[in-house]
Structures are given as C-alpha cells and as structure tokens.
A and B are shown apart, each in its own frame.
Chain A
Amino acid sequence: MRRTVLGMFVFAVACAILASWPAHAARPGFDAKEIRIAQWGPQTGPAAPWGAVARGSALLFNMVNDSGGIHGRKIKYFIRDDQYNPAQTKAVVKELVEREGIFAFVGGVGAACGMAVKDYLAQNKVIWVSPSTAIDEYVFPVNPYLFAVYPLYDDEASILTKYIVEKLGAKKIAFFYQNDAYGKSGLDGCKTRMDALKMKLVEEIPVEPGEKDLSSQMLRLKNSGAEVVIMWVNPTTAAIALKTSQTIGFKPQWVSSNTLSDYPLMNKITGGLWEGVITGAFGVPPTADHPLMNKYREAAKKYAPEERFGTFYLAGVLFAEPLVEALKRTGPNLSTDACLKQLNSIRNFQGIGPVINWSPTVHQGTDSIQIQKCGPDSSYILLQDWTSNDLARWKKK
C-alpha cells in the first residue's frame, strides 16, 4: 500500500515537473554568420498561386547575400508550405521558431493564417514585417513586433472612389463585394468617401466567395444604371462577374482592389475581358522602367528564371525590402531590440512600393496606392501615382 502511494506521489511530481517545463525554447534567430528569416505561404493547395509571394522574397535575399550579406552575416531564408491552412501555419511556424531559430518573419499570405500565429510570434519576440494582407487586428492596437506595409482595404477603396468621382466624373457608382471582412472593409472605405462627397451608392451587392452563378447580381447591377462598379472580390468571382455581365449586355467601367492587379492572370481567366479594368496597386508595375524594378528584373533572370515576374512574385520583394533596410541600419551589433528600434524609426523609406513610415505608436506603414489600368496585351497603364487617403481613420486616432 505504502509503495503504491509512494509510486503515485513520484508519478504526480514527475507530471508536475513535465507540465511546468517550458513547452518551447526558441533558439536565437542569428549568430555571427547568419540571420535566419522565414515565411509561410501556400506552395500547394487551392491558394498556391499566392505562393509566389514567399518565393519573391527569396530574390531579394539572394541579391543581398551575393553582395556580401548584411554586416558580414548572410541571410538564411526558410519557406514553409502551409497550404493556406491556419492549423498548418501554426505547425510550421512553431517548428521554425523552436527548431531553426528565426529572427524575423516576412510576408505571410492569408489573414486567418496570420491571425493563427500573430500572438505566438509576439510572445516569442519574433519580428514580423509586412504581412501579405491588410487587416485591422494586425496593427490596431500596436503590436510591438509586427510592422505592416500592405495598405488597408478601406483606405484603398476610399482613394479609388475619389478617383472615380473626380477623374472619371461618374455619378452612378455601385459596389459588388465579397461577404466577409475583406469585402466589407472595402465597402466601408467607399461609403466613407461617398459620404464626404455627399453621394450615395446606387447599389451594393454582396456575394459569397464560392458562388458560381452571378446572373441575378449582375442583372441587379445593370438595373441600377451604374456607370462604374467597384468590386472587392476574389479572382474567380471577378471572372464570373465579367463573363456574366457580358452575357446580359452590361458593360460598366469595372474598378477593383489591388488583389486583382495581376493583369496577365486576370486576362487569362476572363478570356481577355480584363482589358480596361482599373485597379489599385501597392507596387509599381512589373514592366515599369524603374531603377529598382530594372535591377530586380535582371536578378530574376539569374536567380529564378522559371518564375513569372508578376505581381505576387514582386510583392514578396516589396515586403522584404523594409526588413533588409532595418537590418542594414541596425549595424553589426544585431539584436531583436536593436532591429525593432530601427524599424520603429523608418521614415520615408521607399522601394518598389509606397513610402513607408513607422513609429513606436503607428505600425501601419502606409495608406498609399497607385491606380493602374489593364491595357492591351495585359499591359499596365499608370493612371495616378502614389496617392494617400486624406480620410484615413487611423491617422486621426
């Protein structure tokens, strides 16, 4: 009897010790020779086209390493496939942080995927620069380890609406949006601008992301007499919308968010109907004669000749630019705190994206977009250069 009690006591103590043992012990993210940076992204599965973002960041890191690294340290870059599945994102991020030791994450496709690891990264004091999506929860309230570049969707919609009214002279505007946080955020921005202009939308139509028949929605938009339809939807829905609207003889000016700014892809899946569509953009066009873009185009031929030099691929470069800049500014005495200090003091930094400003109290780096139009042969026509949102609600806080 006594032995049994003693055995149970030993077992309980062992369990208690095991339970109190730290579940994870993050390795430091750098040493004298390398800085370990990582990104998750869907390389397989339904969202695989967005996997180009993670591969795009590799282009910049390869260029940095070939020019000697950063203060003698090379960047060791890890890409993990999470298949756009938040549970997988959690698993790969945990593995990277605890087994490899990661100094910073960059990019990271998927709002839900990012939300699944946001707190974990902050708890482990891992820096996260430029999530590949725009959601309020990333930046409000300020997360000391998270720095965003992606313009918020309401800012983008507000700027586009202003352009539509003031430059295109449209009086009748309708909004066609995905019935989720992404679509509703765009709708909010549009309505805020319309209120400021003392105008009303002639129609606002929600759509579920998987819907394949949009006849009734397009007929309703046609019936509203809309001259311009702003759409905040995914590529498949946009393709069906354009095809269906052609069927019923409805030909408005279509305007969309930057998520549909990969013109070659959109033209391909709409059978050429994308020509003439106006979109927001948070990076200069891949075909632009821009000093940095020219440099990246040449580098891509060397490091990734198999990659399509498209919007998603370049977004990966754009997201990594400010992190590389902060690491350079940090100097040889690298530490997470030192790098955070530099990130917090980035002012007027510009790569191939908008001007970025971060401070200890504001980690949303920009509210600026360009406005572009799909021209013949999927060419990019710049309609309006970087423009910020004078109605941005977060700037007034």
Chain B
Amino acid sequence: MIEQLVVEGLAIGACYGLFGIAVAIIYKTSEVVNFAQGEMGMVATFVAFHILTVYHVPFWLAFVLTLLFAAALGALIQTCFLRPAKDPTVLGLIIITLGAEMLLMGLAGWKWGAEQKDFPFILSVQKTREIAPGLELNEWSMGVFVLSAVIMLILFLFFRYSRLGIAMRATQQNVNAAKVMGIKVERVFAITWAMSSVIGAVAAMFFAARSVLDPNFMMEPFMRAFAAAVLGGLTSIPGVVAGGLIMGIVENVFGYRWPEWKPIVAFVVIVLILTLKPSGLFAKHFVKKV
C-alpha cells in the first residue's frame, strides 16, 4: 500500500512541479509571481475542450493548436497588461496579474458557462498497468512523469546554454545592465510569458483530465503548485520539480494516515523548511540587489 501511495504522490507531485515550472519561469525573469497562471491554463484548457468537442479534430492537432493559443495568450497578457504599466514596482505587477486572473475567469464563465465538464484527454486515469505486484500505474501518471522530466531537462539546458535563456537570466539579474548589453528586455519578457503559458497549459490539461473542467478548476492546483515551487526554490527549475514531488508524497503519505490534516500538512512542512532555508530547498540564497 505504501508503494502505491508513493507512486500516486509522485504522479500528482510531478504535475504540481510541471505547473510550478510555469510559475518559476516568469519569476526567474521578472521576480513577478503571476497569479493569473492558473486561469491562463484554465482558459487554454477550455480552448482545447472547445476545439475537441465542437470541431472534433484529432487530439494531437487540438493539443498543438491549444499550445499556440497559450503562447499567444501569455505574450498578449504581458504586452497588454504588464508592459504599459509605468515605472511599475513588483507589487504593482503582481496586482495586475490578479486583475488578469479575474478577467480570464469572467471570460471563461461567460463563454463556456459554470457547469462542470469532462475533459476528453488522450491519457486516461482509468487505464492502468501493473508495474509490480499490487502496484498500479495509470496512463495519466506515466504521461506526467515523462513530460515533466522532458520539460525540466529542456528548460535546464535552455537556461544554461541558449542565448535566449542566458538573456532571460541576465534580465532577471539586472534589467538595466541587460539593456546596455543589447538585450531587448521587453521581447524577453513577452517570450518568457509565452513559454510559461504553454507549460502552464500542458499542466492544466493534465489537471483537468484528473478532475473536471470548470472556470474554477485551477485555483487549488495553482496554490499547491506555487507552494511546491516555493518549497523547492522559485529560481531553480529542478528545485521546483523536486518541491512538487516532495509535496505530492508528503500529502499522500500523511493524508493517508490523517485524512483530516491532508489539506494543511504540506503547508506545515513548507513553513518548517522555509524557516530553516528561506530561499527554498534547492535555490541559492536570495541576496537583495543594489
């Protein structure tokens, strides 16, 4: 039974990690926590649902179209909401993302209604395979393990070796110096938001397949993914994924023993860890820039 608990915990944890990466990418470049992240994923998932149920196209085509939409949505929000802000503080930008969150939720409610829907995802949570005696693994979990590992690896290499990735890190460290070095920071921000939105959309589709699709369905996963990202360290991509995995396992193992404490046990662990290591488990300690 404990093996199954760990596997289930790792699966949901990988999904938290995947979504946490989306939050972390924006944070890495601009130090802004994007509170609209969940709703951006939610709207993208609704778009996928719409394409699948109205136009009846194959899943993979709908998936690709949705990712294109998600990229455009991310860039659009950055360009239309955050960029026009005059001499913004980080707090001001965070408040703008909260406004965008409300807007997207209202938009989804207006377009698709509040009634819950079943999201027709290609990987089923009901199709399982026995990977060891008494240990089941479903298609959904396999998908999320593979995808989060691949995305983590790509991003790790991207930030370390690609010119754009290095430009993003430079922008995070010092916007003015980056500008002096010829980096078009506004373009970097827009690309960051597009990338983050795409990863968030993938994670949101995974969450929808496990639960139901409605305008509120990403509120709780966002909170947990954000907490997991903080636990692992918001500036470290592998750290964010590790934070998600830890959170998933802690929740499941403690939640099994004390179900009534399940919703808060992970947060208690996070508070304890952050008390000892404020920057998160895997990130370097934050030093204020001067």
Contact = CB atoms under 8 A, between A and B. Distances in A.
Interface string B108-149: 010001111110000001101000000010101000000000
Contacts of B114: 42, 44-49
A57 to B, nearest CB: 20
A305 to B, nearest CB: 18
B260 interface: yes
Query: Across chains A and B, which 3 residue pairs bring their CB atoms closest together, nearest first?
Result: A48-B114, A215-B8, A216-B255
B113 A179 contact: no
Contact of B259 (A46, A205, A240, A271): A205
Contacts of B140: 247
A246 B126 contact: yes
B113 A244 contact: no
Interface stretch (B82-90, B161-169, B205-213): B205-213
B251 interface: yes
Nearest to B137: A247
Given A49-B114, A49-B115, A239 B211 contact: yes
28 contacts: A42-B114, A44-B109, A46-B214, A46-B215, A48-B113, A48-B114, A49-B114, A49-B115, A179-B260, A212-B207, A212-B211, A212-B221, A215-B9, A215-B12, A215-B252, A216-B5, A216-B8, A216-B259, A217-B255, A236-B211, A239-B211, A243-B126, A244-B125, A247-B138, A248-B4, A269-B117, A269-B118, A271-B126
Interface string A208-237: 101111011101100100000000000110
Interface string B226-260: 00000000000000000000001001110110011
Contacts of B217: 212, 236
Given A216-B5, A240-B212, A247-B128, A269 B116 contact: yes
Nearest to B262: A216
A40 to B, nearest CB: 16
Interface string B259-271: 1101100000000
Contact of A269 (B212, B220, B253): B212
Interface string B82-108: 000000000000000000000000000
Contacts of A205: 259
B251 A216 contact: yes
A82 to B, nearest CB: 14
B256 A219 contact: yes
A311 to B, nearest CB: 13
Interface size class of A (residues with CB under 8 A): 35 or more
Contact of A219 (B1, B128, B214): B1
A233 to B, nearest CB: 13
A124 interface: no
Contacts of B255: 216-217
B116 A239 contact: yes
B154 interface: no
A141 interface: no
B109 A248 contact: no
A245 to B, nearest CB: 10
Contacts of A243: 125-126, 210-211
A125 to B, nearest CB: 34
Contacts of B8: 213, 215-216, 219, 248
Interface string B195-227: 000000000000100111011110111000000
Given A48-B114, A216-B255, 5 more contacts: A48-B109, A216-B252, A220-B256, A235-B116, A268-B117
A46 B106 CA distance: 10
A249 B259 contact: no
Contacts of B118: 239, 268-271
Contact of B219 (A210, A213, A248): A210
A217 B9 CA distance: 12
A299 interface: no
Nearest to B256: A216
Contacts of B263: 208, 211
Interface in B49-100: none
A203 to B, nearest CB: 9
A207 interface: yes
Contacts of A215: 5, 8-9, 11-12, 252
Interface string A194-206: 0000000000011
A265 interface: yes
B116 A207 contact: no
Contacts of A219: 1, 4-5, 8, 256
Given A44-B109, A268-B118, A236 B214 contact: yes
Contacts of A220: 256, 259
A211 B211 CA distance: 10
B5 A239 contact: no
A240 B126 CA distance: 11
B216 A247 contact: no
